[in-house]
Amino acid sequence: MNSKNDGDMRRTSEDPWRVCDDRVVLQAYRHAGRAELYFPPLPLTSPQRERTELVGLQGTPTLYSYTVMYPSPKTGKPPVALGYADYPEGVRIFGRLVYPDGRRPAIGDALAPCLIDTEEGTVYAFEPQDKEPRA
């Protein structure tokens, strides 16, 4: 197995996403015999993990709420948009928002999960499905 596949194997077990057909799918879980979904999945070390089922979130999330965090100017870091995405499966997920320059988030925007590289490593984020700036 090559190193890319090894990395994919790690991600399917430790990170709350999978990449399927070039699409990022966030993974929720449910307890055996129950319908409610929760995010993120339980850690591999959790004694409850064996009693849960992973579920890939397939619906289109929409932006429920957002804010923009402005780090101290001394850090030299740019503002970061953060928001809650509501999935039709009944899960609300907090994450970073990645919007094109000049476009502000709007409540109700259709989103798509994506992966971004940060100082902390690769993390999931949400981007608008329509990536074109609004007029």
Spatial distance between the Cα atoms of 76 and 66, rounded to a whole number of angstroms: 22
Strands (E), the chain: 17-20, 23-31, 52-56, 62-69, 80-86, 92-97, 111-118, 121-128
Tell me the pTM: 0.83
pLDDT along the chain (135 residues), means of 10: 36 77 95 94 90 94 97 93 97 97 94 94 95 60
Backbone angles phi, psi at 65, to 5 degrees: -160, 160
Place of tokens 């109700």: 108
Residues facing 125 on adjacent strands: 96, 114
Cβ neighbours of residue 58 under 8 Å, at least 6 residues apart?
A: 25, 89
